[in-house]
């Protein structure tokens, strides 16, 4: 015990402000990686990799196995090189989030509709969602925020129409030409319908009851993972209403709560540019407060 305390004291005596900064930077990098991977399939893979590395280290250090140690020493570099391939989707999402956070400019806020117009849009979406839920008509409504959805708008039918409950009800009426896909609302207008959204591969969907979600829910979660858009889903099987943002989904909400959440997302943003940058890169840190 005395030797242990002496070693700890020796380490603290050698610390300086550069060493503390070095440790904090390494800690921050590990925190960012683990925070980005939580609730994803990559976290399961990461636990498997860590377990494998620890098991190999223990076997090679505690037991004298020359042939096995040689095999581990020669295969470990190949394992390290394979990590970027295994975690390629997560690395890509992290770089995309970093890119979106770094492209914040004052011009992005100039394209947003006024507060009154946004309130009308929210009321129309909530009313349409409530009626679609009562009729059990499936629907997916994606509302653009700061990130552009132009690449997904191009996959649908351009409309540039006023947002009204009647229009949304007509679009999502079963077996109509535009019902199978997402409606994108941007700048206070329905810009396109029947749009194709990216499907989520999040580990959240592998847990019950989320694993029973259909393509609409996976698309809603997918678009929220690659952008800051807010997506509203109505289940065709149960008529339940869900809302998704930043790779998170709140399920089985009523129209009143939906309106409150949308109002929180689209209220006028008076935050400082530094807080907005942090909010775009770490949306989970602000999600609970905003909702």
Number of domains in the chain: 2
Total Cβ atoms within 10 A of residue 160? 10
Taking 90 as the threshold, does the pLDDT of residue 168 lie above it?
A: yes
Of the two residues 128 and 37, the one the predictor is more confident about is 128
Q: Is 152 in the same domain as 72?
A: no
Q: Note whether 63 and 134 are same-domain residues.
A: no
Indicate whether 160 and 60 sit together in one domain.
Answer: no
192 and 70 together in one domain: no
Same domain, 32 and 132: no
User: What is the structure's pLDDT at 192?
Assistant: 95
Per the model's pLDDT, the better-predicted residue between 203 and 24 turns out to be 24
Q: Which candidate, 108, 103, 95, 116, places its Cα nearest to that of 32?
A: 95
What confidence tens digit (pLDDT) does each residue in 206-230 have?
A: 554 555 568 899 999 989 888 889 9
Where a domain ends, among 71, 102, 133?
Answer: 102
Residue 43 — very low, low, confident or very high, per pLDDT cuts 50/70/90? Answer: low
Residues 181 and 39 placed together within one structural domain of the fold: no
Residues 235, 253 within the same domain: yes
Does residue 117 belong to any structural domain of this protein?
yes
pLDDT for 283 equals: 52
Same domain for 156 and 197, yes or no, is yes
Of 246, 252, 212, 249, the residue nearest 229 (C-alpha)? 246
- Which uninterrupted H or E stretch holds 131? helix 115-135
Please give the residue range of the domain that contains residue 227. 112-268+278-290
b/e map 119-144, b = 16+ CB within 10 Å: bebbebbbbbbbbbbeeebbbbbbbb
Buried b or exposed e, range 251-274, using 16+ CB within 10 angstroms: eebebeebbebbeebbeeeeeeee
* 173 phi and psi angles, rounded to 5 deg: -65, 135
DSSP of 251-286: EEE-HHHHHHHHHHHTS-----HHHHHHHHH-HHHH
Q: Give yes or no: residues 198 and 240 share one domain.
A: yes
Residues 239 and 218: their CA atoms lie apart, in Å, by: 16
Instruction: Show which of 41, 69, 102 is a domain's final residue.
Output: 102
pLDDT tens profile 272-286: 444 444 555 455 444
pLDDT at 291: 44
Surface-to-core class of residue 242, CB atoms within 10 Å of its CB (0-12 exposed, 13-18 middle, 19+ buried): buried
Q: Identify whether 262 is part of a domain.
A: yes
Locus of tokens 């749009």: 195
**Strand order across the beta sheet in which 139-143 lies:** 157-162, 189-195, 182-186, 139-143, 230-234, 241-245, 248-253
Query: Is 258 found in the same domain as 120?
Result: yes
**Is 273 a domain residue?**
no
What is the per-residue pLDDT for 269? 55
**What is the rounded CA–CA span in Å between residue 114 and residue 128?**
21
pLDDT digits (tens, 9 = 90+) for 104-130: 444 444 455 677 888 999 999 999 999
Asked if residue 154 and residue 94 are part of one domain, the reply reads no
Q: Indicate whether 286 and 156 sit together in one domain.
A: yes
The answer to whether residue 107 is domain-embedded is: no
* Whole-number average pLDDT of the chain: 78
pTM above 0.75, yes or no: no
116 CB burial (10 A radius; 0-12, 13-18, 19+): exposed
**Boundary-marking domain end, from 52, 76, 102:** 102
């Amino acid at each position: 015990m005395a030797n242990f305390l002496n070693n700890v004291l020796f380490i603290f005596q050698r610390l300086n402000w550069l060493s503390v900064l070095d440790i904090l930077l390494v800690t921050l990098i590990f925190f960012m990686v683990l925070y980005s991977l939580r609730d994803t399939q990559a976290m399961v893979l990461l636990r498997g990799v860590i377990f494998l590395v620890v098991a190999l280290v223990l076997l090679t250090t505690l037991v004298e196995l020359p042939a096995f140690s040689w095999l581990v020493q020669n295969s470990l570099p190949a394992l390290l090189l394979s990590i970027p391939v295994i975690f390629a989707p997560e690395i890509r999402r992290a770089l995309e989030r970093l890119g979106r956070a770094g492209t914040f400019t004052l011009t992005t806020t100039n394209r947003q509709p006024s507060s009154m117009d946004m309130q009308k849009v929210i009321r129309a979406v909530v009313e349409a969602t409530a009626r679609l839920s009562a009729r059990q008509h499936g629907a997916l409504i994606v509302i653009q925020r700061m990130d552009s959805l132009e690449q997904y708008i191009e996959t649908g039918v351009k409309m540039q129409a006023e947002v009204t409950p009647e229009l949304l009800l007509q679009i999502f009426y079963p077996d109509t030409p535009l019902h199978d896909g997402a409606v994108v609302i941007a700048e206070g207008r329905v810009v396109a319908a029947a749009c194709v959204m990216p499907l989520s591969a999040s580990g959240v969907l592998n847990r019950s009851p989320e694993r029973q979600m259909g393509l609409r829910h996976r698309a809603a979660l997918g678009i929220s993972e690659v952008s800051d858009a807010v997506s509203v889903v109505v289940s065709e099987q149960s008529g339940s209403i869900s809302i998704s943002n930043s790779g998170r989904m709140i399920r089985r909400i009523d129209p009143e709560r939906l309106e409150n959440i949308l109002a929180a997302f689209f209220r006028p943003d008076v935050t400082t540019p530094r807080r907005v940058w942090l909010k775009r890169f770490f949306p989970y840190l602000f999600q609970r407060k905003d909702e």
